[in-house]
Amino acid sequence: MERLLPSDPSRLGGYRLLGRLGAGGMGVVYLARGEAGELAAVKVIQPEFAQQAEFRARFRREADSARGVDSPWVVPVLGADTEGPAPWLATAFVPGPSLAEAVAECGPLPARVVRVLGKVLARALDAVHRAGLVHRDVKPGNVLLALDGPRLIDFGIARPTAAEETELTSDSMVVGTPGFLSPEQARALPVGPASDVFSLGCVLAYTVTGRLPFGGGAADALLYRTVHDTPDLDGVEDVELRNLLERCLAKEPEQRPRLAEVGAELVEDAPTGSIGWLPDPVVRMVADRSAEMLALPGIEPTEISGESARQRPGRRRVLAMAAGGTALLTAGGGAALWAVLRDNGGRTPASSAARREWVIGIQADLTGPLKAAGTAQERAARLAVEQFNAREDKPFPLTLRVLDDRGEPARAQAVARQLTRDRYVFAVLGPTGYASARSAVEVYESAGLPLVTVSELSVSAVQSALLAKPRRYFRAAPLAAYSAYATVTALTAQGSRRPGLLVDRAGGITGMESVNVVHSATGAGGVALYARVVPALAPDVSTVVADMLAHGVDSFYYTGTPERAAPLARALAARDFTGPRFLDIPSATPAFVSAAGPAGEGWQVLAPYIDPAAAAVRPFATAYRKRFGGAPGDWAAEAYDVTRLLADRLTALAGSAKKRPSRTQVADALAKARFKGLVTTYAFDADQQLITRQVQHYQVKGGRFVYDGPVGLSAS
């Protein structure tokens, strides 16, 4: 929101203007407050256009159209003056982002969210059509996201279904937003309700893929592709949703489903008092917008006596809840906001500050290259928080704030800034990988906010990010260097005296860390290492196999990527090589097993993470499966333990007074921790690294990595 300009009015009708929400060629939209304290979005025609008959006619029609629609999913009209010298229209203010903003900030949304969104928008458009209107501008920018569901806005170009054309909207004009308008709109033909169905299909396709279904570029090219090309629905993995989108995007209006059919096929329940329909990053966007409203200037209080004063909660109370616990992932508290809205018993709820005091942040790659690990960690943390909050003796409600950095350095830094600026966040679990850590760690260090990772285990991330050694970055799993060192020990134990090290530069900097460790570890003990380095652009790493075997190599250790490890495995299998074969951690994924096929059998890895199916973590795996309907992934058990560790430290610091500790106190408590988790006992050395004496051994058997148990590290 921008400040009011000196030329802006201070009041319109019964509304006091507070700031500018936006401005366009036709007018300005203000944030305003009514006499009862309600917030409104007030659209005003610019004075230079108010005298033009066509603009005033369009504005008058927008007000009449919006008034005629009766739906909880359409933003209602609160007041209007379409005949005065400065025509204005006031609608309820929704303190949330548009769908366009949410997708731009958070990326494509999950299929379940898209189903809920489609079902609700179908209901909204059905109400529009029942009022005898066609919206004609259904697009992400005209959908606002609220905690209780989306809202359709902007009837500026809506018109009666059978109305005569005017000079304002004639059949010769293309009216709408290219990329989201229908073929009949693109061809400037008469439109009916089926046109809105097509636009709804475009909106849902954009939401689930993050792309316009008919591409981008110049408007004329977009219009041509809308009329002639098939939509791009690649990436829509939900078969039923994809089939529905294809029908909505049919070129001929009569081939598209009716809105009632759309709603019936989108089987997800519409929002009914829970924030659960939105993913956490979008919920946080809503919360941030709501929090901004708390700083707005006040108005003179109105005296309300008796029970009515207790029956209606104040705006600040509702917004404080939206910006606090209900707008975050508070386990078991999804309906807290609705309890406030329904409250008619005069009860005083816990303050918003109390609900927001105890927050653990999560910075994870949820949609990027490491999304499997990031999602596993986020869900495990969610489970730990739910279990903590279910305790009758819990000292406070614990909350998660989850942000997705997509594994992108620039975004990771922005996410870190968001979390460090949130004064309620005591510590953060994350990041997922090296790229994020390299740009984010320094932000956390500067803010003094403890950061605990279970899967970013490189040395280089902090060395390249900081001039000084970090003091707030805790590694809650063995560093990758330990796995490399243990691999040399394992090769020797398995009889190798001439190990071959194949360094694939496609593996990046973390692979080179393993190389340095291996060179140091093989410098003594009668082990003669032979190493080869393959450029990242080399088409096939297996071309060096003949040379390595000619030099008497009796075992292999490959550092690189799973896709490029597979040709090496096949080349060794073709030569009947049966000596010990190890992968580094990034290469040891299901992608390697799939690409290598039978040649992958027998390959091994020493990893920092325990098998989620191992006996030691079976109680966690059982609870995880019950909660999320599937088995936990790698790093999940460690994330579960660390979340419990953080809850334990916060509980100890709070004491009986439940006083908020400082971030420095939390960091000190972590440094001194000795917490017995399911995976290991968590204690840290002077460099904030986990004190550990073991890594985990896996071997490919029967087409998958099978857990063989822990492997000890030598005292040296």
Averaging pLDDT over each range in 42-56, 263-277, 474-488, 654-668, which range is the top one? Answer: 474-488
- Only one residue has tokens 């109680």, namely 619
pLDDT digits (tens, 9 = 90+) for 479-498: 888 898 899 999 999 999 99
Q: What percent of the chain has pLDDT over 70?
A: 81
From residue 506, give the alpha-carbon distance in Å to each of 129, 483, 519, 608, 647. Answer: 56, 19, 19, 22, 39
**Alpha helices by DSSP H, 233-361:** 239-248, 259-265, 280-293, 307-311, 315-323, 336-342, 352-356
* Count of beta carbons in the 10 Å neighbourhood of residue 526: 7
Start-end of CATH 3.40.50.2300 domains in the chain: 359-479+612-684, 480-607+697-712
- Give CA–CA dist 135/175, Å, rounded: 11
With 60 as the cut, is the pLDDT of residue 517 above it? Answer: yes
Rounded Cα distance, 502 and 517, in Å? 14
Report the DSSP beta bridge partners of residue 81.
88
Q: Let me know: does 101 contact 151? Beta carbons within 8 Å.
A: no
Higher local confidence (pLDDT), 523 or 269: 523
Question: Given the DSSP bridges, would you call strands 555-559 and 581-583 parallel, antiparallel or unpaired?
Answer: parallel
What residues does CATH 3.30.200.20 cover in the chain? 1-93
Question: pLDDT tier at 714 (50, 70, 90 boundaries)?
Answer: low
Report the distance separating Cα 489 and Cα 517, nearest Å: 12
The gap from C-alpha 272 to its chain's centroid, in whole angstroms, comes to 22
Please report, in angstroms and rounded to a whole number, the separation of the first and last CA atoms in the chain: 60
Number of H helices, E strands in the chain: 26, 25
Where is mean pLDDT largest: 22-26, 129-133, 359-363? 359-363
Helix (H) or strand (E) holding 654: helix 636-654
Give the amino acid at 312.
R
Task: Tell me the mean pLDDT in the region 294-311.
Answer: 40
* Dihedral sign of CA atoms 475, 478, 483, 485 in order: positive
CATH superfamily name and code, 1-93 = Phosphorylase Kinase; domain 1 (3.30.200.20)
Whether pLDDT at 382 is above 80: yes
The residue assigned the tokens 């609705």 is: 338
Mean pLDDT of 602-631: 95
411 close to 439: Cβ distance less than 8 angstroms: no
Residue 289: its pLDDT value, please? 76
Please check the confidence at residue 162 and state whether its pLDDT lies above 50.
Answer: no
Q: Which of 264-273, 505-514, 622-631 has the lowest mean pLDDT?
A: 264-273
**Does 293 score more than 80 pLDDT?**
no
In this prediction, residue 37 carries a pLDDT of 77
The distance between the two most distant Cα atoms of the chain, rounded to a whole number of Å, is 95
Distance of alpha carbon 207 from alpha carbon 111, whole angstroms: 9
pLDDT band at 320 (very low <50, low <70, confident <90, very high): very low
CA distances from 424 to 288, 315, 418, 646, 669 (A): 13, 22, 12, 14, 17
Edge-to-edge strand ranges of the sheet holding 399-404: 329-330, 399-404, 359-364, 425-429, 451-453, 473-475
Mean pLDDT of 126-142: 90
Q: What is the pLDDT of residue 229?
A: 92
**Banded pLDDT at 524 (limits 50, 70, 90):** low
Residue 155 CB contacts under 8 Å (≥ 6 apart), including other chains: 61, 62, 65, 66, 69, 133, 135
* Mean pLDDT in residue range 421-448: 92
Q: What are phi and psi of 350, to 5 degrees?
A: -60, 145
Distance separating alpha carbons of residues 434 and 395, to the nearest angstrom: 35
Q: Is the pLDDT of residue 335 over 60?
A: no
Yes or no: say if 356 and 399 are a contact pair by the CB < 8 Å rule.
Answer: yes
Conformation bin of residue 332: beta by default, left when phi > 0, alpha when psi is -120 to 50: left
CATH class of this structure's domain 97-279: mainly alpha
Query: Of 441, 352, 454, 360, whose CA–CA distance to 650 is shortest?
Result: 360
541-598 pLDDT tens trace:
888 999 999 999 999 999 999 999 999 999 999 999 999 999 999 999 999 999 999 9
Distance CA 182, CA 227 (A): 8
pLDDT band at 301 (very low <50, low <70, confident <90, very high): very low
Q: Mapping DSSP to helix (H, G, I), strand (E, B) and coil, where does residue 80 land?
A: strand
Q: Give yes or no for a contact between 285 and 95, defined as CB atoms under 8 angstroms apart.
A: no
Which residue bears the tokens 């087409």? Answer: 703
Q: Which fold has domain 480-607+697-712?
A: Rossmann fold (3.40.50)
**Residue 699: is it exposed, middle or buried by C-beta count within 10 angstroms (0-12/13-18/19+)?**
middle
Helix (H) or strand (E) holding 429: strand 425-429
The predicted pLDDT at position 345 comes to 32
Token duo for residue 284 = 């946080």
In the chain, residues under CATH classification 1.10.510.10 are 97-279
Please tell me whether residue 523 adopts helix, strand or coil conformation. Answer: coil
Structure tokens at 391: 């305790």
Give the number of other CB atoms < 10 A from CB of residue 705.
22
Q: How confident is the prediction for the chain on average, in pLDDT?
A: 82
Average pLDDT estimate for 402-420: 92
Looking at 8, 64, 126, 137, which residue is catalytic? Answer: 137
The HSE-up count of residue 96 (CA atoms within 13 Å, CB side) is 30
- Paired tokens of 422: 């949130």
CB under 8 Å to 690, separation ≥6 — which residues? 475, 476, 477, 478, 680, 682, 683, 684
Q: Which CATH architecture has domain 359-479+612-684?
A: 3-Layer(aba) Sandwich (3.40)
Known catalytic residue: 641?
Answer: no
Cβ pair 123, 116 in contact under 8 A: no
* Distances from the Cα of 192 to the Cα of 136, 246, 597, angstroms: 9, 19, 55
pLDDT at 594: 96
- What is the pLDDT, as a whole number, of residue 206? 95
Helices (H), 551-612: 562-574, 590-596
